[in-house]
Chains A and B, each alone.
Chain A
Amino acid sequence: MARYILKRLLLMIPVMLGIAILIFTIMYFCPGDPAALMLGAGATQVEIAQKRIELGLDQPYFIRLLQYLKQVFIDLDLGDSYFYGTSVAAGIMSRMRYTLLIALSSMGLQILIGMPLGIVAATHRNGLADRICMMIALLGVSIPGFWLALMMVVLFSVKLGWLPLYGVGGIQYFILPVIANSFAGIATQARQTRSSMLEVIRSDYVATARAKGLSEREVLFKHALPNALIPIITIVGNGMGMMLGGAVVIENVFSIPGIGSYMMSAINGRDYPIVLSGVLVLGVTFSFIMLLVDIIYAFVDPRIKANYERKAIRRKKSAA
C-alpha cells in the first residue's frame, strides 16, 4: 500500500511537467503583450522593447520554456508577478484559503445533500420522493452556476437584503457562493448515488442480508450503501475538481479574492507567472485529491486493496 502511494506520488511529477508545458504553450500563443499592457497606452515602441528584454520576453519559445521549467522544477521558484512585482507563491498562498474554503464547503454540501437525496430516491423508486429528488437533480445539472449565482444575488442580496452582495467577511459572505458552486455537484451526486444504489439493491447479497433477518435500515446502511460507494466516491473526487474550477467563476461573480479572481485578472493582464503558477497549483491540488480518492477506494473495497498489494508483491518477486 505504501509502495503504491509512493508510486502514485512519483507519477505526479510527469503530470505536473505536462501541465506546465501545456499551459506555457497556450499562454505563449495567446495574443497580447504584457509589456505593452504594463506600460499603458502612452508608452513608446522603444520603451516597450526595453521592457520586453527586461522580462525576457524577447527570447524564443524553447529558451523561455526551458528557463521556466528550470525555475519552477529546479529552483522551486514560482517567480514574481509582472504587475505587482511581488512573489507569486506568496500571492497564491494568501488567496488559496478562500478558494479552498469555497471548494471544500461546496464538496461538503454536495455529499451532505446529494447523497441523501440519491438514497431516498433509490429506496422510493418511481414513487413521489424519487420524482421530487430527480426533479431537483435535473434542475441542478441544467442550470449554469454563474447564472444561478446572479439570480440568487438579485433575490437574496438586492431584493430581500438578507445576505451581502459581494466581498469577504463572516460566514454570511460565503453562503451564496457555496450554494451556487455546489448545486450542479449536488445534482450529479444525487443521480449517481441513486443509480449505483439501485444497482446494488437488486444484487443477491442484499437479498442474503434480508434473508438473515436484518431490518431494512441495516440492509441499506450496512450492506447496500458501502457497496454503492465506489462510484459515489469517484463523483466526489471529480466534483472537487469541478468545485475548484467553478470557484474561479464564482469568485469573480462575488468579488472574492481567491485564486480564481487572482488568475482571472492575471489572464486579462497577460501576467504569465501568475497564470502558469495558478494552473499548476490547481492541477497539483486536483492530482492529490485523485490520489486520495484512489486510497479511499482501497479502504472501501478489499478487492481493490488486494489488487494494489498484489502488484507490489509481484514486482518484488520479479525483482528478486
Chain B
Amino acid sequence: MLETETNKNAFLSVRGLTVEYTSDGEIIQAVNDVSFDLYKGKTFGLVGETGAGKTTIAKSIIRILPQPPARVVSGEICLDGQDLLTLEEEKMCKIRGKKISMIFQDPMTALNPIMCVGKQITEAIRKHEKLGRRQATQKAKEMLETVGISGERYHEFPHQFSGGMKQRVVIAMALACNPDLILADEPTTALDVTIQAQVLDMINDLKNKYSTSMIMITHDLGVVAEVCDYVAVVYAGRIVEMGTKEQIFTDPRHPYTVGLFCSLPDINSDTERLCAIEGLPPDPSNLPKGCAFNPRCPYVTEACSGGHEGYIPFVDLGDGHMCRCTNLEKIERGDNLEHAAVRG
C-alpha cells in the first residue's frame, strides 16, 4: 500500500494529485487522487485511453496546466524532496527545462514555426546554463548531432523538417540541459511505425547514456514493453493498477487492464475480430460511484459501486503490485485472460 506521505527515497513522489477542469460551469474531474513513486534512472509508464488524464498528470508535474480552466485541487508532487506545487513561479521556471523537461505529443505543432530550430534549442540552454551565445550555439549544434540531425541545419525552420525530424528536434530541446526527469507525452503517437522505432531506440539510448528518469505516457502497450520499468494503468483519471512491467504484462489483475491486453492483436492466433471492451469511457463530469469501470466490467458486483469514500482502495498483491478491484479473489490468476477471450 502506498503511504499517504511522500516517499523520501523516491526521486519523484506524487501523492493524492487531484485536478479539475471547469467548462461551462461544469466541473470535470480529470485526475483523481493519483499517487506514484519514480526512482532515479527508471522509466514509469502511464497507460490509458484518450482522455484518461495522462497528459494532465504530466502537465501538473511540470506545472504548465492552463489555470483557469484547470485547477490542482489537492496533492503533493515532490521532486528530490522539494514540493513543486507550492513552489513560487520564479523558482519553478528554473526547474522547467533544467530538472524536468517535456516531450510533446505532436511534433508538427510543438515547435515555434517562425523561429529557427537551433535558436529554439539555444534558448533553453542559455536560460539554464551560464554559457555565452557562441558556446550555447555550439552546444545546440552538438545536441542536434546527438539526435542524428546535422548541425548545419541549425538555421533552418521547422517547416523544412519532416515529422520524425521535428520530433528529434523536440527531443534535442528536451535533453539540452541534461534534465533529471523527462516527461514524454506520447512521443511516438504522431509518427509512423518505422520512425516510431527509431525515435524509441533513440530515447532509450539517450536515457541510458544520461541515466535520466522518465515518465512515458502512451496508449500503446508495445511502447510500454520496450521502454518502461514500472507501469500504471489509468482509467477515468485514477490509477487502477500499478506494478512493474513484468507484473502488469504477465499477471494483469484489474478487469480494465485485462481488457486492454485482450484488445491487442495477436500475431499467432487467427482471429477475425479483436476483443473490445464493451461500452465507452465514462463522462468525466459525472463519474460512476465506486469503481469508474463498473458499468463496463464483466465481473461487476454490488461492492463495485461502494467502497471507502466513494472509491475502491488499492489492494496490495505483493511486491508493489497494486490493483483497485473488489473481486480479486474471483478473477484468479490466469483465469482472467481466458475469461475475457471467451467473451470476445
Contacts and interface: CB of A to CB of B under 8 A. Distances in A.
11 contacts: A205-B112, A208-B102, A208-B104, A208-B173, A210-B96, A212-B97, A213-B93, A214-B127, A223-B112, A223-B115, A301-B114
A303 B109 contact: no
A213 B98 contact: yes
B157 interface: yes
Interface in B101-119: 101-102, 104, 106, 109-116
Interface of B: 59, 62, 64, 66, 89-90, 93-98, 101-102, 104, 106, 109-116, 120, 123-124, 127-128, 157, 159-160, 170, 173-174
B111 A303 contact: no
Contacts of B64: 207, 210-211
Given A208-B173, A302-B159, A213 B95 contact: yes
A248 B322 CA distance: 77
A205 B97 contact: no
B230 to A, nearest CB: 23
Nearest to B128: A213
Nearest to B159: A303
Contacts of A301: 113-114
A198 B123 CA distance: 23
A212 B96 contact: yes
A43 to B, nearest CB: 66
Given A204-B104, A207-B64, A303-B159, A212 B110 contact: no
Given A302-B113, A303-B157, 5 more contacts: A205-B110, A208-B170, A213-B93, A214-B93, A302-B114
Contacts of B111: 205, 208
B96 A213 contact: yes
Given A204-B104, A227-B112, A212 B123 contact: yes
Contact of B127 (A212, A223, A300): A212
A215 B93 contact: yes
A300 B114 contact: yes
Contacts of B96: 210-213
Nearest to A229: B114
A240 B64 CA distance: 39
A214 B95 CA distance: 10
A203 interface: yes
A204 B159 contact: no
Contacts of A300: 114
B336 to A, nearest CB: 39
Interface residues of A, number: 23
Contact of A207 (B104, B120, B127): B104
In this complex, the member of B66, B89, B114, B170 whose beta carbon has the largest number of chain A beta carbons within 10 angstroms is B114
A226 to B, nearest CB: 6
Contacts of A227: 112-114
Nearest to A307: B159
A306 B159 contact: yes
A13 B152 CA distance: 43
Contact of A213 (B94, B112, B113, B160): B94
Contacts of A204: 104, 106, 109-110
B71 to A, nearest CB: 15
B94 A211 contact: no
B151 to A, nearest CB: 19
Interface in A206-225: 207-216, 222-223
A232 B89 CA distance: 30
Interface in A171-213: 202-205, 207-213
Contacts of A226: 114-115
A205 B159 contact: no
Contacts of B174: 211
Contacts of B62: 211
Contacts of B113: 205, 227, 301-303
A208 B112 contact: yes
Most B CB contacts (10 A, CB to CB) among A211, A223, A301, A303 go to: A211
A216 B115 CA distance: 18
Contacts of B109: 203-205
A19 B128 CA distance: 58
A204 B110 CA distance: 5
Contacts of B160: 306
Contacts of B114: 226-227, 300-303
B156 to A, nearest CB: 9
A126 to B, nearest CB: 8
Contacts of B112: 205, 208-209, 223, 227
Nearest to B119: A222
The 5 A-B pairs of least Cβ separation, nearest first, read A213-B97, A213-B96, A204-B109, A212-B97, A212-B124
A24 B113 CA distance: 46
Contacts of B173: 208, 212
A212 B101 contact: yes
A202 B170 CA distance: 18
Nearest to B63: A210
Nearest to A227: B114
Contacts of B59: 207
A223 B173 CA distance: 15
A214 B102 CA distance: 13
Nearest to A203: B109
B6 to A, nearest CB: 23
